[in-house]
């Protein structure tokens, strides 16, 4: 079905944002990053041909600006209105792009981030933010339905938060997650609010911060995400990771490991690759902290093989670092140094 969908989209895809968005989520879930990149290329072609908007950031040197080499977002043109030459009626030139156009940026974010291009991934949420600000200034009803605009607002936090998290800027990520949570603007079964609540819980539990949601609240959140037809297949298992991390924080270590083992089993059987890798990473990290090393090497090898085979470059450096820690823990210091050097090289490459 995905092959047929891509074929159908070749000529008319720009007017089928829901199909494109759902296809990109399916490709992410199953770890098919090469195909996601193809879809992103198709999206870029559509922006350029149909809307006369170049989504390739130029000059590229501005993506490595300052310290720690963050992109200077203000140096890029990010048009949010119909351009001259666009295939729309003359009276639409200069008006705000419709919601259907902006959905494509989410595909670009996912493709760039998971491929390791985190600087590029930071650009597109900013582009969406500028559009949302203009929409709110001119009036939502002039451009889109309210729930669609709120969903895009949530997408800013949902897509950009993980970038800040993987860079180690946890407070920046948490600040982003609070925006849709505090606004409490609902659409698509509150999907965007549920996603950022899950992301917030994971960051808080894994970094030792105070928890906003206890186990009861997280269990309710899991049920809501599992029942939401607009959410992803991996949704409840993402919450399971947050529940497991919270259980461990509360000293219920065996229960945490049991839930994590079940999550690994389910995501492996369902081939929910991204959730599977995250669960394997989490168990390996815990194993190193707790001295429970029986599954640690197998988990790391499996996760690394999945990342390499699927093109999930953004996740590789930490896994090599954890593998180095594992080798050091069992006294194989030569291998530990080798794996750590590989981790350093991969971090530099990012």
Tens digit of each residue's pLDDT (9 = 90 or more) over 227-273? 999 899 999 999 999 999 999 999 999 999 999 999 999 999 999 99
Tokens of 239: 């919450």
Question: What does the pLDDT read at residue 16?
Answer: 63
- pLDDT bracket for residue 13 (50, 70, 90): very low
Q: How many other CB atoms are found less than 10 A from the CB of residue 300? A: 26
Question: What does the pLDDT read at residue 63?
Answer: 65
- 124 preceded by cis ω (within 30°)? no
Question: What does the pLDDT read at residue 330?
Answer: 97
- pLDDT bracket for residue 14 (50, 70, 90): very low
Q: How far apart are CA 259 and CA 243, in angstroms?
A: 8
Q: How far apart are CA 124 and CA 102, in angstroms?
A: 10
Burial 186-206 (b: 16+ CB within 10 A, else e): ebbbbbbbbbbbbbbbbbbbb
User: What is the average pLDDT across 303-321?
Assistant: 95
CA pseudo-torsion sign 50, 52, 53, 54:
positive
Instruction: Give the global pTM.
Output: 0.88
Give the distance, in angstroms, between the CA of residue 160 and the centroid of all CA atoms in the same chain: 7
Q: How far apart are CA 294 and CA 118, in angstroms?
A: 34
Q: How many other CB atoms are found less than 10 A from the CB of residue 156? A: 24
């Amino acid at each position: 079905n995905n092959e047929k969908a891509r074929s159908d989209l070749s000529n008319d895809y720009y007017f089928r944002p829901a199909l494109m968005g759902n296809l990109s989520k399916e490709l992410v879930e199953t770890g098919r990053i090469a195909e996601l990149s193809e879809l992103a290329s198709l999206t870029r072609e559509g922006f350029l041909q149909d809307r006369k908007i170049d989504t390739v950031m130029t000059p590229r040197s501005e993506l490595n600006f300052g310290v720690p080499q963050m992109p200077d977002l203000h140096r890029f043109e990010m048009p949010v209105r119909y351009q001259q030459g666009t295939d729309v009626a003359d009276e639409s030139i200069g008006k705000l792009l419709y919601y259907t156009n902006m959905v494509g940026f989410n595909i670009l974010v996912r493709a760039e981030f998971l491929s390791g291009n985190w600087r590029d991934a930071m650009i597109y949420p900013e582009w969406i933010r500028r559009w949302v600000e203009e929409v709110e200034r001119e009036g939502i009803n002039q451009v889109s339905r309210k729930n669609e605009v709120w969903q895009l607002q949530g997408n800013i936090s949902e897509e950009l938060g993980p970038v800040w998290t993987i860079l180690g800027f946890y407070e920046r990520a948490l600040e982003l997650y609070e925006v849709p949570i505090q606004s409490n603007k609902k659409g698509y079964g509150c999907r965007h609010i549920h996603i950022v609540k899950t992301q917030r819980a994971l960051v808080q539990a894994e970094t030792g911060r105070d928890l906003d949601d206890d186990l009861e609240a997280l269990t309710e959140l899991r049920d809501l995400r599992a029942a939401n037809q607009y959410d992803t297949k991996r949704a409840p298992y993402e919450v399971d990771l947050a529940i497991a991390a919270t259980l461990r924080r509360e000293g219920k270590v065996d229960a945490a490991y049991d839930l994590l083992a079940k999550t690994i089993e389910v995501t492996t059987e369902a081939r929910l690759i991204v959730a599977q890798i995250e669960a394997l990473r989490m168990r390996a990290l815990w194993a190193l902290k707790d001295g429970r090393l029986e599954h640690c090497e197998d988990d790391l090898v499996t996760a690394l093989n999945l990342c390499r085979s699927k093109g999930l470059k953004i996740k590789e450096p930490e896994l090599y670092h954890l593998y180095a820690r594992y080798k050091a823990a069992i006294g194989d210091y030569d291998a530990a140094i080798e794996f750590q050097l590989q981790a350093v090289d991969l971090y530099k490459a990012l």
